[in-house]
Amino acid sequence: MHFSVLLSLYKKEQPSYLLQCLNSIFYQTILPNEIVLVLDGPLNDELDYIVEDIQKKIPYLKTIPISTNQGLGKALNEGLKHCSYDLVARMDTDDIAKPDRFEKQLAIFRKHPEVDVVGAWIDEFEGDTSNVLSVRKVPEWHGKIIQFAKRRCPVNHPVVMFRKSAVLKVGGYKHFPLFEDYYLWIRMLINGARFYNIQESLLFFRFTPDMFRRRGGLKYAVTEMRLQYLFYQTGFINIFTMMKNISIRLVVRLLPNGLRSSLYKRTIRNNGLL
């Protein structure tokens, strides 16, 4: 089965993280037919050098430059236009795929041709992959995924593989900063797309202090409330679920960064609240 890998890179990415990410793709048990790397706005000299150097060595790496930074949703939509195959594996440029990630996801698509989205668990680590803080688990089967999606994002975006045709059928990614994926999955579920999550970790997801800064504050909380209201408007959740989701999230988002980070690591993630 032929497939593409889709990534988006911007100037604030750490060069060493990018190298780790790309190397984890190059050493997969099944290699992709192409890697589509969207350059979301001008990079810096070090990132430019890495991309140019790897392009010389890896002929199936396609770079798609965008003149100004557009944000993840718009960058991924542009990248999808350049993906040659219907199966597309997503990945972030600071994460590390486990060697058999693609092999195991392709096996699900072969066994279940009706499936449109195949996700998996991820190991959340800090500093080094030997320091795994938690495992972000998501349910396996479609029915459970729908119920889970009413309170939390049901798919781990950095490790997902999907059918491009199913994503385009609902209009692709929408510009909804930090929630592009969650909004996409809900629209796909409403549209009848079929989901499956492999019940093991297939990727190392990097924890950074910046992640907690970006996921807090009033602006972030308001954006999250808007998303919940959209889910309510579509009929995906009822008003009681919407109010419960907003109440939990509002408290967490307005906490100081250090306290939110500690709470996330020790309580929220392990109890499935966010």
> What are the pLDDT digits (tens) for 103-162?
999 999 999 999 999 999 999 998 889 999 889 999 999 999 999 999 999 999 999 999
**CATH H-level, domain 3-207: superfamily:** Spore Coat Polysaccharide Biosynthesis Protein SpsA; Chain A (3.90.550.10)
Residue pair 186/235 in contact (Cβ under 8 Å)? The answer is no
pTM: 0.89
**Per-residue confidence band for 271, with pLDDT thresholds at 50, 70 and 90:** very low
Taking residue 42's Cβ as centre, other Cβ atoms within 10 Å add up to: 14
Q: Are 18 and 9 in contact (CB under 8 A)?
A: yes
pLDDT, tens digit, 9 for 90 and up, residues 230-256: 999 999 999 999 999 998 877 766 655
β-partners of residue 124 are 134, 205
Q: How confident is the model at residue 176 (pLDDT cuts 50, 70, 90)?
A: confident
Q: What is residue 149's predicted lDDT score, i.e. its pLDDT?
A: 97
- What's the pLDDT at 229? 94
Is residue 260's pLDDT more than 80?
A: no
Report the pLDDT averaged over residues 36-58.
93
If one compares 190 and 260, the residue with the highest pLDDT of the two is 190
Counting every residue written for the chain, the total comes to 274
Distance CA 234, CA 212 (A): 29
pLDDT surpasses 50 at 199: yes
Residue 215 has pLDDT above 70, yes or no: no
Distances (CA, A) of 153 to 54, 156, 189, 241: 34, 8, 12, 14
* Domain ranges across the chain: 3-207, 210-274
List phi, psi (to 5°) of 126: -130, 125
Within 82-116, strands assigned E span 87-90, 96-97
More confident residue, 59 or 36: 36
**What are the helix and strand counts (H, E) for the chain?**
11, 9
Quick one: average pLDDT of 192-198? Answer: 98
Share of the chain above pLDDT 90, in %: 72
Closest C-alpha among 195, 107, 186 to residue 143: 195
* Beta carbons of 224 and 260 less than 8 angstroms apart: no
pLDDT value, residue 267: 53
Integer Cα distance of 188 and 184 in angstroms: 6
